[in-house]
């Protein structure tokens, strides 16, 4: 009961931030964070005053677009899907330590342009506080936070101090459990820093991760260095992966990878730059 009251108060706090605006666009990635923002925006302003915008790019698995489309249909809101120019952005493809800033700035610029064409003056993003105890200022000065600030994009969850675990609780509170999804960062994060990003590598990673998900693995990362791959799945699913090792390695080699190994320690989150 106490938990429910706390979630009600936190959700109302999010709604109050969004109610400052008449109409908004939502940067919708298909993940739990931005899904929560889209749901809250509809609750705060009504479906007619919310437009979701999902960037169409090779840097994602494809599942993101499906989830975004499904949510928009459920909420009854318009959904724009502008294409990005990431594969023509040499600063992104160089894959330096500033990659996340250049990538985020490129994607958000495309989304903002689509919003402006739809006569939207305010864009909301699902960025949050990550974990308890992280300083707000530190997040705002991160590469992603810097790109958001430069483009004037509002982050209701971050402003309310919402953490990753609270996103799940808030979606449950709102009755939208279907949209509690595992984190699924941009595919470029699977490629070792300093190694150029290519369309071939992105397609190999996408094919490999989609294949592994089709087998029932939920948290999947196929990390790449040159033409070699290392598979990470949730720690509790590592034994199942080892049982199917021969079949999995054969499939990934058929995709194009040379050497393939399984990380027996399981998935470990890599902090975005």
Query: Who wins on pLDDT, 144 or 79?
Result: 79
Query: Who wins on pLDDT, 33 or 131?
Result: 33
pLDDT for 202-246, tens place per residue? Answer: 999 999 999 999 999 988 999 999 999 999 999 999 999 999 999
98 pLDDT above the threshold of 70: yes
Q: Which of 153, 179, 205 is the last residue of a domain?
A: 179
- The reply to whether 202 and 245 lie within a common domain is yes
- The reply to whether 100 and 29 lie within a common domain is yes
Query: Who wins on pLDDT, 7 or 270?
Result: 7
- The reply to whether 202 and 175 lie within a common domain is no
| Band of residue 6 on the pLDDT scale cut at 50, 70, 90 | confident
pTM over cut 0.85: yes
| Band of residue 269 on the pLDDT scale cut at 50, 70, 90 | low
Q: Three-class SS string for 141-184?
A: CCHHHHHHHHCCCECHHHHCCCCHHHHHHHHHHCCCHHHCCCCC
Judge whether 272 lies within some domain: no
pLDDT for 197-212, tens place per residue? Answer: 999 999 999 999 999 9
- The reply to whether 121 and 218 lie within a common domain is no
What is the layout of strands, in order, in the sheet containing 123-124?
78-80, 50-53, 24-27, 123-124
- The reply to whether 121 and 72 lie within a common domain is yes
For 42, 45, 51, 122, the CA distances from 23, given in Å and listed in that order, are 10, 7, 8, 7
Q: What CATH code is carried by the domain that includes residue 46?
A: 3.40.50.620
Judge whether 258 lies within some domain: yes
Nearest partner of 261 among 232, 219, 230, judged by Cα: 230
- The encoded tokens of residue 93 equal 């493809």
Query: Who wins on pLDDT, 139 or 125?
Result: 125
| Band of residue 184 on the pLDDT scale cut at 50, 70, 90 | confident
Judge whether 55 lies within some domain: yes
For 23, 41, 73, 209, 230, the CA distances from 48, given in Å and listed in that order, are 8, 10, 13, 36, 45
In sequence order, the 6+-apart residues with CB closer than 8 A to the CB of 165 are none
What integer pLDDT is reported at residue 268 of this predicted model?
A: 74
- DSSP letter for each residue of 9-71: HHHHHHHHHHTT-SSEEEE--SSHHHHHHHHHHHHHH-GGGEEEE--B-TTS-SHHHHHHHHH
Asked if 92 and 113 count as a contact pair (C-beta separation under 8 A), the reply is no
Judge whether 68 lies within some domain: yes
Residues of the domain holding 45: 2-179
What integer pLDDT is reported at residue 134 of this predicted model?
A: 46
**In whole numbers, what is the pLDDT of the chain averaged over residues?**
91
In sequence order, the 6+-apart residues with CB closer than 8 A to the CB of 247 are none
């Amino acid at each position: 009961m106490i938990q429910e009251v706390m979630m009600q108060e936190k959700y109302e706090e999010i709604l109050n931030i969004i109610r400052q605006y008449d109409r908004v666009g939502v940067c919708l990635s298909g993940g739990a964070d931005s899904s929560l923002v889209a749901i809250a925006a509809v609750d705060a302003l009504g479906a007619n005053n919310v437009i979701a915008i999902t960037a169409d790019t090779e840097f994602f698995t494809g599942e993101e677009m499906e989830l975004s489309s499904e949510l928009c249909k459920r909420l009854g809101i318009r959904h724009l899907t502008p294409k990005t120019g990431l594969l023509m952005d040499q600063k992104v493809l160089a894959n330096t330590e500033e990659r996340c800033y250049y990538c985020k700035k490129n994607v958000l610029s495309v989304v903002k342009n689509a919003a402006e064409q739809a006569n939207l003056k305010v864009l909301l993003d699902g960025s949050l506080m990550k974990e308890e105890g992280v300083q707000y200022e530190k997040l705002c000065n991160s590469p992603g936070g810097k790109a958001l600030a430069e483009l004037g994009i509002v982050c209701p969850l971050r402003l309310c101090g919402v953490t990753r675990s609270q996103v799940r609780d808030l979606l449950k509170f709102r009755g939208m459990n279907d949209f509690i999804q595992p984190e699924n960062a941009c595919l470029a994060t699977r490629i070792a820093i300093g190694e150029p990003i290519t369309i071939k590598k992105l397609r190999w990673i996408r094919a490999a991760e989609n294949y592994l998900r089709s087998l029932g693995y939920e948290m999947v990362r196929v990390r790449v260095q040159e033409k070699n791959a290392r598979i990470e799945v949730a720690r509790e699913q590592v034994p199942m992966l080892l049982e199917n090792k021969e079949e999995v390695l054969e499939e990934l080699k058929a995709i194009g990878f040379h050497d393939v190994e399984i990380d027996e320690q399981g998935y470990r989150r890599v902090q975005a730059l």
